[in-house]
Amino acid sequence: MNSDLVLGIDIGGSGIKGALVDINKGIMTTERHRIPTPELSTPEAVVDTIKNIANVFDWKGTIGIGFPGVIQHGVVKTAANVDSGWIDVNLEKLIKTQIGSPCAAVNDADAAGMAEMTYGAGIDNKGVTVMLTIGTGIGSALFTQGVLVPNCEWGHFALPGGIDDAEKWASDAARKKHDLTWEKWMKRLKKYINYIEDMFWPDLIIIGGGFAKKLEKKGNPFDTRTKIVPAQLLNEAGIIGAAAVAAKKLLITNS
């Protein structure tokens, strides 16, 4: 088995996606395989889905997983978009027990950020980098000197002006729910991003998620002191980043 390869898995609320990743090049070596997230997204059902993806690639080696929630030392601590039965489950041990593969699990936004820092838009930045994934929700990741500070979950910050949850106010789902014009949505995102700037003084902000494509086409619509760039790996970032985290955590090296 090629020791440069890791199976990256990105668990989402609607789909579970996986591909084999070359951890040295930061590229997927197979097509992405997607299976809809089970309607009852219990640990057992999700692990069965991951096992099915591993079987598609006839994979018995290391697995890296990006999970939509806080992960502490392999243990799931929040599960807003999947079954609440995940809370306090050791995902890494569950994969090892049920599938037989060594596993490293990480928050999904952290996985996307790791991909960009290792292979993409943040590769040369040695200061403080913030990754924001703006789509249906808002995900966040923080890096200092290239090192991940895990589980930021800034999408749920309260903002000045009585805004209890930034994601419910400024995400693409909020735009659709409140039928916001482009201009009104940009004002909300600007307020959110300016708040992140004032709290953390980053050197670079990388925008991922669905908004990254808009940033590429329309340019930066925000008046920020911080340089803002679109993510480079787009919808492959979660899979590639999960594999990168597994490679680093499990000390995979060239054979």
Provide DSSP, 148-191.
Answer: EE----GGG--BTTTBS-HHHHHSHHHHHHTT--HHHHHHHHHH
Every domain of the chain with CATH number 3.30.420.40 lies at 5-110+236-249, 124-231
Rounded (to 5) percent helix, strand, coil in the chain: 35, 25, 40
Q: Which two tokens stand for residue 12?
A: 């989402």
Determine contact, residues 207/228, Cβ cutoff 8 Å. Answer: yes
Rounded mean pLDDT of the chain?
93
Who wins on pLDDT, 29 or 214?
29
Of the pLDDT bands very low, low, confident and very high (cuts 50, 70, 90), residue 1 is low
- pLDDT value for 253: 40
Q: What is the percent of the chain where pLDDT is above 90?
A: 83
- pLDDT, mean of residues 62-83: 94
Query: Please, what CATH class does the domain formed by 124-231 belong to?
Result: alpha beta
Burial 192-213 (b: 16+ CB within 10 A, else e): bbbbbbeebebebbbbbbebbe
For the stretch 16-70, pLDDT in tens is 999 999 999 999 999 999 999 999 999 999 999 999 999 999 999 999 999 999 9
Please state the pTM of the whole predicted model: 0.89
Q: What is the CATH number of domain 5-110+236-249?
A: 3.30.420.40
Q: State yes or no: pLDDT of 105 exceeds 60.
A: yes
- Residue 252 and residue 125: Cα distance in Å, rounded? 24
What Rg value do the Cα atoms of the chain yield, rounded? 18
